[in-house]
Amino acid sequence: MNKAFLDLRKGLALYKVWIYQAYHEISAKYRHTFLGSLWIAGSMVTTSLCLSLVFGIIQGQDLKSVLPHIMGGILAYTLISFILVDGAEVFIAAGGIIKNHAYPFTYYVFEGVSRSFLVFLHNLVVFYIAIAIVGGLKIPNWEVLVGLPVVLVTMFTWGSFVGMMASRFRDLRFMMPYLSQLVFFLTPIFWTIGPSAKGWRSALVAQYNPFFGLVEVIRAPLLGQAPTAQCWILALTAMVTGIVAWLVMFSAFRRRIPFWV
């Protein structure tokens, strides 16, 4: 366990490197394009607008109320989905570097989390512009300052865990994106749970769904609301269990990562 914490300290010490590398990878992808970094938010805006129009018609809601809810959910889930999508690739994609350079293994996870967070910040600007246009702009709740660190720690710990598991069992690398899609539709991101919803199905997607808690501790404050106590319990539980899983998995198997990738 001491070597795991030593790896963590060495990874944190390289913060200038992984922040720069994350920024460079994002900017290089859209270099020489006409719209540049605006393409980053293109998927979020298009998906949010289409879902808002469809569900606004079905549920009889206007764009002013439904668009901020849906766009905020997609914004938050895009960040959190690092655990299931990018987290599975975090060590495999860097396999050549891992075998030839003695970087701490936590460096690669920090770089991946930073890349997702930078995309989140970029999309956040577009999010506020969009909801200001439809007249739904509100002052963010201060609890977002607590929710974001909780989510980022959860992303790091569970992302490391999933990355190691996917490196050892390669089928997970291809399964995780499908699982992310399943979680997206089962989580109240673009739909809401009505007061009449009862039974084990509604409990499964709301009361026991950690992704709902992680999404809500970001979305609710951005919309000027305070997350419910249930959402905080879900988010904090995900963070604590992630820390425990990281300590166990990373301490026991970190030395095998070069052989797995």
**Closest by Cα among 227, 231, 240 to 205:** 231
Euclidean distance between CA atoms 140 and 83, whole angstroms: 25
Residue numbers of the domain that contains 12: 2-260
Judged by phi (left if over 0) then psi (alpha if -120 to 50, else beta), residue 32 lies in left
Judged by phi (left if over 0) then psi (alpha if -120 to 50, else beta), residue 176 lies in alpha
Q: Quick check: 98 pLDDT over 80? A: yes
Return mean pLDDT, the chain.
88
- C-alpha of 63 from chain center: 25
Q: Identify the pLDDT of residue 53.
A: 81
Euclidean distance between CA atoms 170 and 180, whole angstroms: 17
Q: Identify the pLDDT of residue 41.
A: 79
Question: What pTM was estimated for this model as a whole?
Answer: 0.92
Number of domains present in the structure of the chain: 1
Q: Identify the pLDDT of residue 37.
A: 64
Cα angle, residue 98 at apex, residues 90 and 251 outer, rounded to 5°: 75
Residue 1: strand, helix, or coil:
coil
Q: What percent of the chain has pLDDT over 90?
A: 61
* Predicted confidence (pLDDT) per residue in 122-147, tens digit: 899 989 998 898 887 888 999 999 99
Q: Quick check: 120 pLDDT over 60? A: yes
Mean pLDDT, residues 37-53 taken together: 81
Answer yes or no: are the C-beta atoms of 133 and 68 closer than 8 Å: no
Mean pLDDT, residues 87-99 taken together: 91
Least confident of 32-36, 119-123, 143-147: 32-36
Euclidean distance between CA atoms 67 and 190, whole angstroms: 9
pLDDT confidence of 64, banded at 50, 70, 90?
Answer: confident
- C-alpha of 81 from chain center: 4
The structure tokens listed for 155 are 């992303």
Q: Identify the pLDDT of residue 202.
A: 63
Between 165 and 196, name the one with better pLDDT.
Answer: 165
* Predicted confidence (pLDDT) per residue in 189-245, tens digit: 887 776 555 555 666 677 789 999 999 999 999 999 999 999 999 999 999 999 999
Q: Identify the pLDDT of residue 190.
A: 85
Q: Quick check: 162 pLDDT over 70? A: yes
